[in-house]
Chains A and B, each alone.
Chain A
Amino acid sequence: MIDFVQNTIDGVMIGSSYALLALGFTVIFGVMRRLNLSYGPSIMLGAYFGTLLHIQFGAGPLAVAAATVLGAAIVGIYVERLCFAPMAAGAGIASMVSSFAIWMQLEQAAVLLLPRHTYAFPPLTDGAALTVGPFLLRADQLVVLSCVLVLTAAVHVGLYRSRFGLALRAIIDQPMAAHLVGVNVNRATLCAFAGASALGGIAGYLVLAVDQQVTPMFGMWATLKGLVAMMIGGLGSIPGAVIGGLLLGLIEAHSQWYLGPQARDLVVYAVLFGFLVLRPGGLLGAAPAGAMPVAQPRP
């Protein structure tokens, strides 16, 4: 029983960072109706900027965090301008493949920036563990959890209580109609893309600060975890992204404990496959079963 509770705690902790990754992914997908495979690699390159600052100038955690988030946002803007903005309405697959080509580019850029395979990433705290009764809580993971709660609330408020959020929701619904009522679709999309990449940057920073190391493979890891969490929770749903991330963390923690590390990923993909076949909309997805949210005509 103690194991079960401890695993659940661990699952929620790691799941909260998945939730944040999925949140950024969901915002991009909602606005574009297209898959940005470069999402994870943008975060990875941002983290490399942070690491470079840390190695060259001995920057502290705050500066590293700022560099990571800013770097991810800038790379996100680059990806949007090159792979998404110039594409015609029917060219969703081309956008996706193009973002994959840019992924290759970003990975190489990271290697050029810092050529070793692995680099130490500055930790958030000294890694001390709190004990509550028989349970172990890592202080840095508590910071992650609280960041996730605050950011999710902020995204929610931003989308549902602000003028910019209203414009974004209009674009998500019908880009052409949004354009006709005076929304600058091009600029709002770019802002949403940069914001979502920054959100991913925060998630990436928190994960890396807990892991205390960074490799170019982090890009693929972040894209896959964000994608899986987003699909389990329900495509295009903000609460879905959070619940999907937490669920993914819980499934991983429990299957690793009871079935071993090799079976962990197998269980995750089996659950994902089962979800897609039996309930394609995910847990909270609004999309009707089996239908792809069609790209609307854009101005």
Chain B
Amino acid sequence: MDDYVVGVLSNIGVLAFLGLSAYLLLLTGEISFGQQAFFAIGAYAAGIATAIWGWPLAAGLLFGAAAGAAAALVVGVPTLRLHGLYFAIATLAFAEMVRLLFELLRYQVMIDGELVGPNGADGFRDIRYVFQNNIEPQQFLLVIYALLVAVLLGFALLERTRLGVSFRMIGVDYVLAQMHGVAVARHKLIAAGLAGALAGLGGGLYAHLTTYVEPRLFDVMLGVHSLAYGLIGGLGTALGPLLGVLIDIGLLESIRAFAGYRMIIFGGLVALLLIVRPRGLLDEILVHRIGGAWRRWWRRRAAKEAA
């Protein structure tokens, strides 16, 4: 694979974590404009861990995910009783606060005669773990997708557990879920924490992929994009956000021929798609139908083999 393809695929993989993070909250019926904050926190935490403290990559990524989860829990408690637009704007306000605080954050240490660390609005340069340890871009791509597959398997498991069913119940109607004995508050906190960890992990990967992060990368635009991924790809399965990222980046990369009209075509296509499929391409109904067809086919084959 040439470097261009590896680069695009790496980007798709990393952004999928952010899309999945927003998707998890969408499952519980909440719109968050603020998942980019946990992405940023994960990126900075993992970057500081490997570049300044000299931790290995795995420990740094884990630290990024933990930092994302911790921040999500801290903001999850006061916003617990907010819904809909109120929740969305509260998360937006929080995310903007985080971004502005990173513009003030200065924590630089002299390493090998060079200042390394976050330098306010100028960003955090030289997160060079991947480069220094001679990890090829292809190998790092493998790391990203191995983690992504693990997360997707986790989602597949989640859909089969009580926890996942409770999430979807809360998403459909939280009052009804409460009446059926689902502990809504606790489940929403769990969802927020998991979503924060996912975004944090993605942020850690992002920081090591690009070797450079700055606060203005993590603005509202990124947050709304991450929401859009789930809604374009579909809310029926965790593959939806991944499909959304694929469509976003893949389509944008492939219609380069239309240079100046890219966003006009893409924006229009998304708007038209959402009229036809308001819950995305892979929505619940389609996923259910595919699942049913698959099971029928499987049963028929088993019956044929038995006969």
Contacts and interface: CB of A to CB of B under 8 A. Distances in A.
B89 A276 contact: yes
Contacts of A231: 86, 89
A93 B263 contact: no
B61 interface: no
Contact of A290 (B82, B88, B101): B82
Nearest to A83: B271
A272 B93 contact: yes
Interface stretch (A46-54, A57-65, A100-108, A117-125): A100-108
B96 A280 contact: no
Contacts of B278: 87-88, 90-91, 94
Nearest to B277: A94
Give chain A's interface residue range (CB within 8 Å of chain B): 35 or more
Contacts of B264: 105, 108-109, 112
Contacts of A106: 267
B279 A94 contact: yes
Contact of B260 (A100, A112, A235): A112
Contacts of A112: 260-261, 264
B41 to A, nearest CB: 16
Interface in B224-281: 224, 227-228, 231-232, 260-264, 266-268, 270-271, 274-275, 278-279
- Choose among B84, B104, B227, B231 the residue with the greatest number of A CB atoms under 10 Å from its CB: B84
Contacts of B26: 93
Interface residues of B, number: 42
A270 interface: yes
B224 A108 contact: no
Nearest to B94: A273
A184 to B, nearest CB: 22
Interface in B76-124: 78-79, 81-86, 88-90, 93-94, 96-97, 100-101, 103-104
A266 interface: yes
B49 interface: no
Contact of B85 (A97, A102, A273, A292): A292
A107 B263 contact: yes
Given A231-B89, A269-B97, A98 B279 contact: no
Interface centre among A93, A95, A112 (most CB of B within 10 A): A93
B271 A262 contact: no
B25 to A, nearest CB: 11
B93 A276 contact: yes
A106 B263 CA distance: 9
Contacts of A147: none
B220 interface: yes
A195 B90 CA distance: 28
| Secondary structure dominating the interface of A | helix
A250 interface: no
B31 interface: yes
Identify which of A97, A291, A292 gathers the most chain B CB atoms within 10 Å of its CB.
A97
A35 interface: yes
A65 B78 CA distance: 44
B32 to A, nearest CB: 11
Interface in A33-86: 35, 37, 82-83, 86
Interface in A147-197: none
Which of B26, B85, B96, B227 has the largest number of chain A CB atoms within 10 A?
Answer: B85
A5 interface: no
B104 A104 contact: no
A270 B94 CA distance: 8
Task: Give the one of A94, A272, A290 with max B CB within 10 A.
Answer: A94
A253 B227 CA distance: 33
A265 B102 CA distance: 13
Given A37-B224, A266-B100, 8 more contacts: A105-B268, A111-B260, A112-B264, A231-B89, A262-B103, A262-B104, A280-B86, A290-B81
16 contacts: A35-B85, A35-B88, A87-B274, A91-B278, A93-B26, A93-B231, A102-B267, A102-B271, A105-B263, A107-B263, A228-B89, A231-B89, A235-B86, A262-B100, A273-B94, A277-B79
Interface of B: 26, 31, 78-79, 81-86, 88-90, 93-94, 96-97, 100-101, 103-104, 220-221, 224, 227-228, 231-232, 260-264, 266-268, 270-271, 274-275, 278-279
Interface of A: 35, 37, 82-83, 86-88, 90-91, 93-98, 100-109, 111-112, 220, 224, 227-228, 231, 235, 262, 265-266, 269-270, 272-273, 276-277, 280, 289-293
